[in-house]
Amino acid sequence: MASQERIRVAVVFGGQSTEHAVSCVSAASVLANLDPERFELLPVGITPQGSWVLGPADPATLAIEDRTLPTVTSGTSVTLPADPTSTNLVVLERGREGEILSAVDVVFPVLHGAFGEDGTIQGLLEMVGLPYVGAGVLASAVVMDKEFTKKLLRAEGLPVGTYEVLHRNDKTLTETQKERLGLPVFVKPARAGSSTGITKVTDWTKLDEAIAEARAIDPKVLVEAMIVGREIECGVLEFPDGHVEASLPAEIRIDENLDFYDFATKYIDDGAELDIPAKLDDEATEHLRTMAVKAFHAVDGQGLARVDFFVSPDGAITLNELNTMPGFTPTSAYPKMWAVTGVDYRTLLSTLIDTAIARGTGLR
Ligand SMILES: Nc1ncnc2c1ncn2[C@@H]1O[C@H](COP(=O)(O)OP(=O)(O)O)[C@@H](O)[C@H]1O
Ligand SMILES: [Mg+2]
């Protein structure tokens, strides 16, 4: 295929969230695996300060090296004007202002967390009139917020755990709330990810410290009753014709000495193993896959999502959370689950882009 016929994909990564580095690692993997025959790649990094720069030509520079996390630093300054009459990536550099770098056909926002997975960049892309991979404004905003995710899931009759919300002015839990939850509890920022700011509290004297840690990230904090169970997740994928499927589930087995699935275990240490497919009987597997699709629709999901569950020893299933832009790092479950289900990484990425283009922007 001649190069001018290829689809121009802006892969956007980094960003202002606490998951900047994780996004870089995910993007490195996406850039390395998008089909070069079909797609022309435009890597666009967003610095931790929010500046858009042309990303490195070599995605390998975005990987984790010797436990050092990657960061988007400098590069040619670019922007995507919120003007639907042009979908050009425009240079902002002094002396080159307004120079058109390239027209863009579709955006793959490989961004996690605030300003990426929360509906804000999705809103910008709607204004630009550019199709993009993944959830729209509503689902992105809902799923970024663990309180509203639970509310929508519960409204559809899906099982969620017991929790309390501490808003900006709620200093701590009341005695009644403590009694309702029982120990241990998980204290977490309402709108974060990659386990940042999360503490497992086994003694009420440690609660306020945990709240402060979560508040360093988000003034709204969730305190959840601990759920004892295996951690199982399912990938959900929307195809260009609009039908939605769930992958085979994966089980995350973390090292027994670890408290929970924390940041280092997720991305740096080898403290977790994935069983794909999860060792579950056929009935439980199908039940989880059906629930994953239901959860996807409950939050008005689009494109893709990863749906995370706890499966308790008695077989009870509880939904933990969804992720509208799950990790795409080499150790991430989402692409691995699809590979085992029969959709290899390259096909998965092509499907995501084809679905984005088929859907377009605006009300749908
Ligand atoms: N209510 C809970 N009960 C048991 N474990 C939990 C609970 N909430 C969180 N965890 C543990 O903490 C991890 C991260 O929490 P999660 O809510 O998934 O936040 P994140 O968005 O950062 O991934 C989970 O994968 C799990 O290991
Ligand atoms: Mg999680």
pLDDT band for 28, please (50, 70, 90 cuts): very high
Mutate to test the pocket of ligand 1, among 198, 202, 218, 273 (most ligand atoms within 8 A of CB): 198
Question: What is the pairing mode between strands 52-54 and 78-79?
Answer: unpaired
**Ligand 1 nearest atom to the CA of residue 195, by list position:** 22
The residue type found at 349 is: L
pLDDT tens sequence across 294-342:
999 999 999 999 999 999 999 999 999 999 999 998 778 999 999 999 9
- What is the 87 CA–ligand 1 centroid distance (Å)? 39
Helix, strand or coil for residue 283? helix
d(CA 172, CA 177): 10
- Residue ranges of alpha helices (H) inside the chain are 20-33, 120-128, 137-144, 146-155, 175-181, 207-215, 263-267, 282-298, 333-341, 345-359
Shortest-distance Cα residue to atom 24 of ligand 1: 261
**Ligand 1 nearest atom to the CA of residue 146, by list position:** 17
- What is the 75 CA–ligand 2 centroid distance (Å)? 32
pLDDT average, residue stretch 118-124 = 96
**Total count of residues recorded for the chain:** 364
pLDDT mean across residues, the chain: 92
**Residues whose beta carbon lies within 6 Å of some atom of ligand 1:** 161, 186, 188, 192-195, 198, 224, 226-227, 231, 260-261, 308, 320-321
> What does residue 103 show for φ and ψ, rounded to 5 degrees?
-80, 150
Residues 6+ apart with CB under 8 A from 200: 184, 185, 186, 187, 226, 259, 260
pLDDT at 35 over 90: yes
What pLDDT was estimated at residue 82?
87
Mutate to test the pocket of ligand 1, among 227, 254, 261 (most ligand atoms within 8 A of CB): 261
Helix, strand or coil for residue 53? strand
pLDDT average, residue stretch 119-143 = 96
What pLDDT was estimated at residue 66?
72
CA 133 centroid distance within chain: 12
> Worst-scoring range by mean pLDDT, 117-131, 251-265, 293-307, 325-339?
251-265
What pLDDT was estimated at residue 322?
97
∠ at Cα 195 (192, 200), nearest 5°?
A: 115
pLDDT tens sequence across 345-358:
999 999 999 999 99
pLDDT band for 4, please (50, 70, 90 cuts): low
The residue type found at 236 is: V
pLDDT band for 222, please (50, 70, 90 cuts): very high
Closest Cα partner for 234 from 298, 282, 296? 296
Closest listed ligand to the CA of 263: 1
Shortest-distance Cα residue to atom 1 of ligand 1: 226
pLDDT tens sequence across 208-219:
999 999 999 999
pLDDT at 263 over 70: yes
**Ligand 1 nearest atom to the CA of residue 163, by list position:** 1
What pLDDT was estimated at residue 30?
95
What pLDDT was estimated at residue 225?
98
> What does residue 251 show for φ and ψ, rounded to 5 degrees?
-110, 135
